[in-house]
Amino acid sequence: MDRGGRVLRAVRDPIGDAAPVPSVSYRPAPAVRAPAPKPAEMPAARPVPRAAPPVREIERPRRQAQRQPEPNPWWPLLERAARPGVGVALAGLFLGLTLLYGTTRGDHWHEVGASLAAAPDEIADAMGFQIRQVVIDGRHELSDAEILQALDFRAGRSLPFLDVDAARQRLMANPLVQTATVRKLYPDKIEIKLVERHPFALWQRDGQLYVIADDGTVIDKASGRFANLPLVVGHGADEHAHEILDALAQVPDLKGRIYAAVRVGDRRWNLRLDNGIDVKLPERGMPEALQRLGHLDATDKLLEREITEVDMRFPERLTVRLTDEAAKAEADARKKAKKRGTS
């Protein structure tokens, strides 16, 4: 039954020939009175909530950050090595280090240095500038070896790389050379002009023999090469040798008999002859004294007598000293002459 008093039938009940439905009387439902509205009630006061106790944070364990792997320090080098041409450079470096190691272990630095030094000359030689001719003017005493050594000459030396100033300085360092010029004549020639100091005399000092020029410059130590030069001895003899030798040149017969000229006190000269006679020359008028001595020897054979000394230091007189044997014989002759005179 619904709210209108109608009976509701279920759908499942049969329709038509179904059993008759008994009549049902309906009574109207009593009216329901709506309840009277209650007076408005004041809303009850809400209880004031208590302050909640402080909530303590619970620290959760932090997840550790994942550690990044450290970069490979060789990676930039590997990237560079991958560039074009780097492999060739590394191969060259390896080869160079290998050669360096082999050179050091084998002690071949001298050969390597010589090869590097000769490289410019080899290039110039290939271009036709190899030195093939050396022309020397004014050479008298210098040997070929001395000149080539001064030029720093070696096989395969090229003209462009020859230092002519250094070569000239090395030539001038030789005491035999007074002046020198060195010129390049391209493509393959060197021209050298020399003015040599001529060996003038042998100078004995402190037991040592030296070859000197006419200006007194010491050229070199004496050797058999200069054995025929006149000998001067003593302090100052090197600077004044030209005085005595020029004066002797005016008396050639006497000059040939001189063994040595000795400087005395750096003031005058004594002459030692080949037969052992000493001639004392004056400090002044030495050339005139030599002329007089030459005349006496030519006319009276003075220097062939049995004497040991001729003293010409005083222009007004000449004194000779006899040998011991000659002096004894002279004394005996005087005694005999004296006895004859008394008998």
* CATH match for 201-342 among 3.20.20.70, 3.40.50.150, 3.30.565.10, 3.40.50.11690: 3.40.50.11690
**pLDDT given for residue 274 in this prediction:** 93
Tell me the CB-side half-sphere exposure of residue 206, using CA atoms within 13 A: 1
**pLDDT given for residue 343 in this prediction:** 57
**pLDDT given for residue 15 in this prediction:** 44
The Cβ of residue 260 has, within 10 Å, a number of other Cβ atoms equal to: 17
Q: Which residues contact 273 (CB under 8 A, 6 or more apart)?
A: 257, 258, 259, 279, 303
CATH 3.10.20.310-classified regions of the chain: 114-196
- CA distances to 73, 103, 301, 305, 324 from 329, rounded to whole Å, are 116, 87, 19, 13, 8
**pLDDT given for residue 270 in this prediction:** 97
- CA distances to 161, 210, 212, 219 from 229, rounded to whole Å, are 41, 11, 10, 13
Using CB atoms within 10 Å of the CB of residue 310, give its burial: 0 to 12 exposed, 13 to 18 middle, 19+ buried: buried
For the chain, 343 residues long, the average pLDDT of each consecutive 10-residue run is 50 46 48 52 55 56 58 63 62 67 57 53 70 90 88 78 90 91 92 92 92 90 86 94 94 93 95 95 94 93 93 92 86 77 62
Its CATH architecture, for the domain 114-196, is Roll (3.10)
Q: How, if at all, do strands 189-196 and 201-205 pair?
A: unpaired
CATH 3.40.50.11690-classified regions of the chain: 201-342
**pLDDT given for residue 330 in this prediction:** 79
Q: How far apart are CA 159 and CA 168, in angstroms?
A: 15
**pLDDT given for residue 240 in this prediction:** 94
**pLDDT given for residue 328 in this prediction:** 86
196 in Cβ contact with 219 (< 8 Å): no
**pLDDT given for residue 340 in this prediction:** 72
Global pTM value: 0.55
Using DSSP, state whether 318 is helix, strand or coil: coil
Report helix angle 286-300 to 237-248, nearest 10. 40
Bond before 287 cis per omega within 30 degrees: no
**pLDDT given for residue 109 in this prediction:** 46
